Amino acid sequence: MAFPSQFFNLLFGRPLATSEERAEHIGPIAGIPVFGLDALSSAAYGPEAALTLLIPLGLLGVRYIVPVSAAIVALLIIVFFSYRQTIEAYPHGGGSYTVASENLGHGAGLLAAAALMIDYILNAAVGISAGVGALISAVPALQPHTLGLCLGVLGILTLVNMRGVHDTGVVFMIPTYFFTGTLLVVIGAGVWQTVAAGGHPHPVMALPAIRPATAAVSAWLLLKVFSSGCTAMTGVEAVSNGVMAFREPTRKNARTTLTIIIALLAILLLGIAYLCRAYGIAATEPGAAGYESVLSMLTRAVMGRGWFYYLTIGSVLAVLALSANTSFADFPRLTRAIAGDDYLPHVFTLRGRRLLYSWGIYVLVAFTAALLIIFRGVTDRLIPLFAIGAFMAFTLSQAGMVMHWKRQALLEERGLVRPGGVRLRMLVNGVGAAATGVTALVVFVTKFAEGAWITALLIAGMIVIMRAVHRHYTRVAREIDLDRPIIPAAVSEPIIVLPIDRWSRISEKALSFALSMSNDIRVVHVVTTEESDAFCDAWKEFIADPLRASGRAVPRLITLKSPYRYVLQPVVDYVLGVERETSYRKVCVLVPELVVRHWWEGLLHNRRSDLLKVILLMRGNRRIIVVNIPWYLEDAES
Amino acid sequence: MAFPSQFFNLLFGRPLATSEERAEHIGPIAGIPVFGLDALSSAAYGPEAALTLLIPLGLLGVRYIVPVSAAIVALLIIVFFSYRQTIEAYPHGGGSYTVASENLGHGAGLLAAAALMIDYILNAAVGISAGVGALISAVPALQPHTLGLCLGVLGILTLVNMRGVHDTGVVFMIPTYFFTGTLLVVIGAGVWQTVAAGGHPHPVMALPAIRPATAAVSAWLLLKVFSSGCTAMTGVEAVSNGVMAFREPTRKNARTTLTIIIALLAILLLGIAYLCRAYGIAATEPGAAGYESVLSMLTRAVMGRGWFYYLTIGSVLAVLALSANTSFADFPRLTRAIAGDDYLPHVFTLRGRRLLYSWGIYVLVAFTAALLIIFRGVTDRLIPLFAIGAFMAFTLSQAGMVMHWKRQALLEERGLVRPGGVRLRMLVNGVGAAATGVTALVVFVTKFAEGAWITALLIAGMIVIMRAVHRHYTRVAREIDLDRPIIPAAVSEPIIVLPIDRWSRISEKALSFALSMSNDIRVVHVVTTEESDAFCDAWKEFIADPLRASGRAVPRLITLKSPYRYVLQPVVDYVLGVERETSYRKVCVLVPELVVRHWWEGLLHNRRSDLLKVILLMRGNRRIIVVNIPWYLEDAES
């Protein structure tokens, strides 16, 4: 709630007013790390994943990496043009969810939503565990602390993100630029050496010998290689989801950011592939003795094992761990959009003290932590799964854009908007949809047995839940929405029910209030012992007689026997009985309550009044109104 | 609460009406297991504890066990006569707490209370872990499951005790009688063989050789031996605490039960000591290789290792584990008595569905489980500690009885009661007090370094807490107790504050109710965005204009800006502000609330109304009254 303390401010930053919103928006310099880190870091595992599947082909496999990478980059460029158009058409954030819902209907939108949510959560878990895994390869002594390190990184990411997007950009800028910079230097130097050596450079340090081929080339194998390599493309949709986070001119900034990210990624992928062939670098068996990552071999082949090697590998580690951050930037925005359409709880639309959609972050952190704990910090097996979500989302988004342009074309024909190359745009997005759709299908088929079926089941389950949520909100809206003026109900005196256990100042206050509200008061007293009890005597002496003497209406005393010593049950039953007997009057239950000043004092008093309120709320109905009459204990000092 | 299900009834027995109370009372046959199990089971570890300290004396040590045991039995007999008199004088239950409070003042009473509570909790933990420990010595394969077994036994004890005292007696009768019966047979057979062999019987099976002496006898050593042996006396006060649980004639039944328990215990202690000397049985080093318990050696020396041996050892195991049950019988009664004097939370005085003081059981189980978990089920080191609590309680109880008789003597002198050997009784209790007091001191001094200081600190801490609780209750009573007739407050129209977020059926219902209560209504609307909002338009069209047209008073609309998007804070501040401005009128805050029918629906709606109620309760004061206007969602089916 609203008790911001110094500590909170220090940890999460001071609260931000709604009017400070603009200040939180970013430009391309900060946008590249925030929205591009996931896409760029994919260069660290995409080529490696493809090369690993090429190991059985021996030297021939190393040659195949270039065409496979070229195919991936071609796909990447198609996707780039598609998303450029999305940014143009949806300046308020055109995530796959929005585009698919608006153009293909809610079914497609929900499919995209579920795919993306799963994708983001997997991405956060995989990113963190891959980074920690790389760190552990470098410092094997940390091996026993894998899970602890993973959760620690998650904690840091959470803290940084709770401070807001702007601060996040600053924190992530340095590792991202270091990662891109060092890899570009390696690629530049490598290409220079290769050209200088006439295509056959000599590695600075010896590389592992390439193992002889054990299998022949087949189309199925190349499809699998392509599918694995496609993980290099995950994350490129981030910019189009987050257009709103950019400062004015929004579209231009977003477009510039997307262009730079895609260009960098394409250069990295092609450069790595080219140099792998030039230097003859094959992947080594992951998890086996002598394993070394492709980027590590490449860097030391080109640069040797000096300080620059360690700088490069260090930035790879940092960026892998931080690639999870894209999920932090986008997941809350995605859930906010879905919740805004009533498909997720509305709590996702509330902005916290730092203008963030806090609940999106909480849910992301909870699921990521759960995945990390279940897999004990080793989530390699999840990597192929999240490519499916990403490509499903790509496809739905592009297909949606095709419909978008189709409608534009109709408007053009009718002369409602001025013509502007809509056919070409439709073609661009159509090619994008077809390419990514085929890729999604290929990934799904080639990865089905490895776990793609789990992703499919999860997506189905989430769609069922989102539909149920939507049904609920629709029903509630139908029931409570009101579009007519007030019709004040006929005023009739309510029936007051007041439970009293003994005569005290608290009961006196409640009874006074009851007398001011109505003339029909029923004081309810529960008797648990068999003997007569003190209150019945007090009733006559202290209440009934004095009221009668002063000419007032005397409340009715209702004595309820409770042989099993339950105190609340008889009161609730009585209230429900009164409600049944009267057809229109409201029944007000007055609940006197002692309020203590310190939590420990609360342990010394029974919580019957709280329980009574809860039970009345649970079992009550619209004509029963609960009135809380608090009695505050004075402070001990006074 | 009051939703008894079939399952509950099966597990805990059907609920019992207050009028069924008599049926729960017991006679000596059931009383011996319930109140004597702890005392009798002490025979299984008291002599062993003494003999263990005598190991360094070699053969000489075995001889010393007889005089030491005789001293303990002498003390036991003194205590027996003391407690007989307590039962006589306190037929409604004369626990050390009651006797000390009534006769020595509340300070002594609290000391006894703290000592006893710690004693009971330690007893439960030690009993369970000793039983499980013995089981594990027999079946070493169970070793890794020590803690699990301990918690399992605790769970069974809890279940059995939640069914009530009567059922408990039946369940515990068989092991207790088996234990006493088999040991008596062993002792009888052993004494017969010893007499027949002229004082030097030949063991049926060979015993471990007695190790040569490594130390000389000293008074300090013998005092320590005596202190350890005194653990055999823990639990004898149980009957006098629980007199009320016996059926009529209460005192006679309780006295008979006490007599039988003490007699059995004395026979067991003396018999074990005599036979140890006759057969030459020395303790073996606990925890070391070749360890065997004294009772095990004794049984196979007399009876051999046949079925009877296993029967005896089996009943020892069972009884040790179940000795914890005395705590279950007495702890809730003790806390009930203390709470009745306002020194513990009143919740301890409430009786549950089976007529038990359920909260006493909960607290006992919680602390016992905590001790078992902290010590991972191995609580040997706690054994000496709980003798201190027991002997402190003995001493305070007997000293209290001395004062009791002293007052009786005064009354006699004045001829107010008829004379009845009060001087003799005072002497009996005086001797008891002196003997147990000296013993308590000896135990405290000899066990100080081994942990008696922890017990002392805990007792001091608990006294501080109990005094604080008492202060609180006294203050509350002073503040709310009322011994005069009602003075109905002058009736003045309350100010109604009604927070509304948007125009809906829910707000219409709340506004209707407000209109029926007062003409001074302030509708509060919080604006978090900077744009004007829909409600302000709805206000004029749907509320203000129609009400004015129908000639009614129009509520005031208060618009609160909230730049930091907190919604509740401005409402609470406004309410407090209104309260400050008016000096006597009540402020009624109407809280409209959507009530859902299923828990999962609750996740889909924010809990702002609950939070508002809690904050108003926390920050409010006596003139602020919260009225809950629930809106029940219709069931999906309807």
User: Mind listing the pLDDT tens digit for each residue in B597-622?
Assistant: 777 777 777 777 878 888 887 777 77
Instruction: Report pLDDT for B542.
Output: 86
Distance CA A543, CA A538 (A): 7
Nearest residue to B87 via CA among B28, B20, B172: B28
- Which is nearest to B516 in space by CA: A417, A457, A490, A215? A490
Copy the structure tokens of residue B409.
């003597």
pLDDT attached to residue B11? 57
One-letter-per-residue 3-state SS of B257-315: HHHHHHHHHHHHHHHHHHHHHHHCCCCCCCCCCCCCCHHHHHHHHHHCCCHHHHHHHHH
Q: Which pLDDT does position A165 carry in this prediction?
A: 54
Q: What is the mean pLDDT of residues A25-37?
A: 82
Peptide bond into B208 cis (omega under 30): no
Reply yes or no on whether the pLDDT at B526 is more than 80. Answer: yes
- CB crowding B361-383: b at 16 or more within 10 Å, else e: bbbbbebbbebbeebebbbeebb
Cβ-nearest to A627 among B603, B606, B625: B625
- In this prediction, residues A214-236 reach a mean pLDDT of 86
Residue B205 region by backbone torsions, left for phi larger than 0, else alpha for psi between -120 and 50, else beta? beta
| Strand order through the sheet with A495-499 | A556-561, A521-527, A495-499, A587-595, A624-632, B624-632, B587-595, B495-499, B521-527, B556-561
pTM greater than the 0.80 cutoff: no
**CA dist., res. A420 & res. A237, Å (int):** 25
SS3 content of chain B, % helix, strand, coil (to 5): 70, 5, 25
Q: Kindly compute the dihedral angle of the four CA atoms of residues A288, A289, A293, A298, in this order, to the nearest 10 degrees.
A: -140
Instruction: List helix spans (H) across B447-497.
Output: 453-480
Residue A107 token pair: 């079914």
Is residue A566 classed as helix, strand or coil in its secondary structure? coil
Q: Nearest CA to CA, how far is B612 from chain A (Å)?
A: 10
Instruction: Give the pLDDT of residue A504.
Output: 86
**Beta-carbon count within 10 A of B352 CB:** 20
Q: Would you state the structure tokens that stand for residue B390, as one six-digit string?
A: 């027991």
Q: Is A589 helix (H, G, I), strand (E, B) or coil?
A: strand
Where on the phi/psi map is residue A531: left (φ > 0), alpha (ψ -120 to 50), or beta?
Answer: beta
Instruction: Compute the nearest-CA separation of A563 from chain B (Å).
Output: 5
Is B16–A564 a contact, with Cβ atoms under 8 angstroms apart? yes
Taking the CA atoms of A379, A384, A385 and A391 in sequence, report the sign of the dihedral they define.
positive
pLDDT on residue B424 = 87
- Output the pLDDT for position A549: 84
Q: What are phi and psi of A237, to 5 degrees?
A: -80, -5
Return the residue of B nearest to A615 by Cα: B1
Strands B495-499 and B587-595: parallel
Tell if the CB–CB gap between A630 and B629 is shorter than 8 Å.
no
Residue (of A30, A109, A132, A164) closest to A368 by Cα position: A132
**CB of A376 within 8 A of CB of A128?**
no
Nearest to B479 among A512, A530, A633 (CB): A633
| Comparison of pLDDT for B243 and B384, the residue scoring more | B243
Can you tell me the distance from the alpha carbon of B350 to that of B346, in angstroms, rounded to the nearest whole number? 7
Instruction: Find chain A residues with C-beta within 8 A of B512's C-beta.
Output: 486, 488-489
pLDDT of A67 > 90? The answer is: yes
Task: List, in sequence order, every residue forming a beta bridge with A495; answer none if it has no partner.
Answer: A587
Please tell me the predicted confidence (pLDDT) of residue A608.
79
Give me the torsion for CA of A481, A483, A486, A487, rounded to 10°: -90
List % helix, strand, coil for chain A (3-state, nearest 5): 70, 5, 25
Asked if A481's CB is within 8 angstroms of B504's CB, the reply is yes
Residue corresponding to tokens 């309260």: B579
Residue bearing tokens 């220079």: A192
pLDDT band at A2 (very low <50, low <70, confident <90, very high): very low
With an 8 Å Cβ cutoff, are B485 and A542 in contact?
Answer: yes
Q: Do B547 and A488 touch (CB under 8 A)?
A: yes
List, in sequence order, every residue forming a beta bridge with B628; answer none if it has no partner: A626, B591
Return the structure tokens found at B552: 């009614």
Q: Which of B20, B347, B464, B472 to mutate to test the interface with A (most CBs of A within 10 A)?
A: B472
**Which of A484, A569, A628 to mutate to probe the B interface, most B CBs <10 Å?**
A628
- CA B520 to the chain's CA centroid: 53
* SS3 state of residue B81: helix
Here the tokens at position A440 are: 């999604």
Kindly state the tokens that stand for A33.
């790390």
Nearest residue to B318 via CA among B175, B125, B181, B128: B175
Q: From CA A301, how far away is CA B437, in angstroms rounded?
A: 86
Residues of chain B contacting residue A604, judged by C-beta atoms under 8 Å apart: 345-346, 469, 472-473
What's the rounded Cα separation, in Å, for the pair A185 and A299? 10
Mean predicted lDDT score pLDDT of chain B: 83
- Whole-angstrom Cα distance, residue A148 to residue A165? 26
Query: Which residue reads 């010590």 in tokens?
Result: B375
Buried b vs exposed e over A270-295: b needs ≥16 C-beta within 10 Å? Answer: bbbbbbbbbbbbbbbeeeeeeeebbb
Q: Which of A18, A469, A571 is the best residue to mutate to test the B interface, defined by the most B CB atoms within 10 Å of its own CB?
A: A18
Of the candidates B412, B431, B428, the one whose C-alpha atom is nearest the C-alpha of residue B420 is B412
Taking only the tens place, the pLDDT of each residue in B223-270 is 888 888 888 888 888 888 778 788 888 888 999 999 999 999 999 999
**CA–CA min distance B330, chain A (Å):** 22
Tell me the H-state helices in B42-105: 46-54, 59-89, 96-104
In this complex, which of A19, A622, A629 lies closest to B530 when CB atoms are compared?
A: A19
Mean pLDDT of B355-380: 83
Q: Is 90 exceeded by the pLDDT of residue B559?
A: no
The residue to which tokens 């009661």 are assigned: B417
What DSSP string runs through A39-81? HHHGGGTHHHHHHHHHGGGTHHHHHHHHHHHHHHHHHHHHHHH
From the list B552, B566, B595, the residue facing A488 with the nearest CB is B552
Supply the DSSP string of A161-200, one letter for each residue. HHT-HHHHHHHHHHHHHHHHHHHHHHHHHHHHHHHHTTT-
Q: CA nearest A584: which of B512, B90, B198?
A: B512
Q: Any residues with CB less than 8 A from the CB of B268 and at least 6 apart, and which?
A: B40, B43, B180, B183, B184, B187
What pLDDT shows up at residue B636? Answer: 45
Tens of pLDDT, residue by residue over B452-493, are: 888 888 899 999 999 999 998 888 888 888 878 877 666 677
CA–CA separation, A246 and B164 (whole Å): 69
Which residues of chain B does A543 touch, with a Cβ-Cβ cutoff of 8 Å?
485-486
Q: What is the pLDDT of residue B364?
A: 93
Tell me: cis bond preceding B546? Omega within 30 of 0 counts: no
Please tell me which residue, A79 or B324, carries the higher pLDDT value.
A79
- Calculate the alpha carbon distances from B196 to B21, B192, B193, B308 in Å: 53, 6, 5, 22
- Distance between CA atoms of B610 and B614, rounded to whole angstroms? 6
Most confident of A71-75, B37-41, B319-323: A71-75
- Are A565 and B347 inside 8 Å of each other by CB? no
Q: Which residues in chain B have their CB less than 8 angstroms from residue A484's CB?
A: 542
Would you tell me how many other CB atoms lie within 10 Å of the CB of residue B619?
12
For residue A18, pLDDT beyond 70: no
SS3 state at B53: helix
Q: Which two three-digit tokens encode residue B345?
A: 């939370």
**CA–CA distance, B217 with B97 (Å, rounded to integer):** 39
Looking at the DSSP bridge assignments, the partners of residue A498 are: A523
pLDDT above 70 (res A6): no
Best mutation site among B565, B588, B589 for testing chain A: the one with the most A CBs within 10 Å?
B565
Mean pLDDT of A63-91: 90
